[in-house]
């Protein structure tokens, strides 16, 4: 029974590593894609086009083209807000698997060093998420939209998503920076 339990937690660790690798590779791809978008310019619609009942254009849309860092943020931030859960899920699976499997005393230092590295990585991604969220709200022109959801400012919701995932990742980072689980022959320290 103990061997089956240990195998399950090893599987959790491997699944967590795969999910973290998936997030990291996608983040790198989207980072480069956002840089490319920023070079060409990212269009932000400030006001939708207005049409009459016959479908004729009354007023053209107001569009702002963003370049540089703000264009990069406009290209990367929505992806980060939507996909932060994958990094959190992978880290949670890896952390639970790590704590439950334990380590031999002679391998503990290397294993704990890897967990510290993951903790710093999570902390840096959390800081990036928070900065992207703040940039979306305070540095990109936006306002209340029109139509069915006219009461909602989507940039504020995106800021909240960034903030929530940043807090979750910071909690996980604190866990990985403090983890001390070591087992040797059935004992734990």
Residue pLDDT, tens place only, 26-47:
988 888 888 887 777 777 777 7
pLDDT bin (cut points 50, 70, 90) of residue 145 is low
Percentages helix, strand, coil for the chain, rounded to the nearest 5? 70, 10, 20
CB proximity list for 75: less than 8 A, separation 6 or greater: 30, 33, 34, 35, 37, 38, 42
Candidate ranges 68-72, 151-155, 185-189; pick with highest mean pLDDT: 68-72
Cβ atoms of residues 82 and 140 within 8 Å? no
Model confidence at 181: pLDDT above 70: no
Model confidence at 62: pLDDT above 90: no
Tell me what the mean pLDDT of segment 55-75 comes to: 79
Number of H helices and E strands in the chain, helices first, is 4, 6
């Amino acid at each position: 029974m103990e061997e089956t339990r240990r195998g399950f937690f090893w599987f959790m660790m491997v699944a967590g590593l795969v999910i973290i690798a998936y997030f990291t590779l996608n983040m790198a791809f989207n980072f480069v894609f956002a840089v490319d978008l920023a070079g060409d310019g990212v269009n932000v619609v400030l006001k939708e086009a207005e049409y009459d009942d016959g479908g004729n254009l009354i007023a053209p849309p107001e569009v702002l083209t963003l370049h540089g860092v703000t264009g990069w943020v406009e290209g990367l931030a929505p992806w980060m807000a939507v996909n932060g859960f994958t990094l959190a899920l992978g880290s949670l699976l890896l952390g639970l698997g790590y704590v439950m499997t334990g380590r031999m005393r002679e391998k503990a230092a290397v294993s704990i060093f890897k967990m510290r590295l993951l903790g710093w990585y999570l902390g840096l991604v959390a800081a990036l998420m928070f900065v992207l969220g703040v940039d979306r709200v305070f540095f990109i022109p936006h306002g209340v939209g029109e139509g069915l959801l006219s009461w909602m400012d989507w940039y504020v919701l995106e800021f909240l998503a960034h903030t929530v995932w940043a807090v979750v990742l910071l909690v996980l980072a604190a866990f990985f920076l403090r983890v001390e689980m070591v087992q040797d022959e059935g004992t734990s320290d």
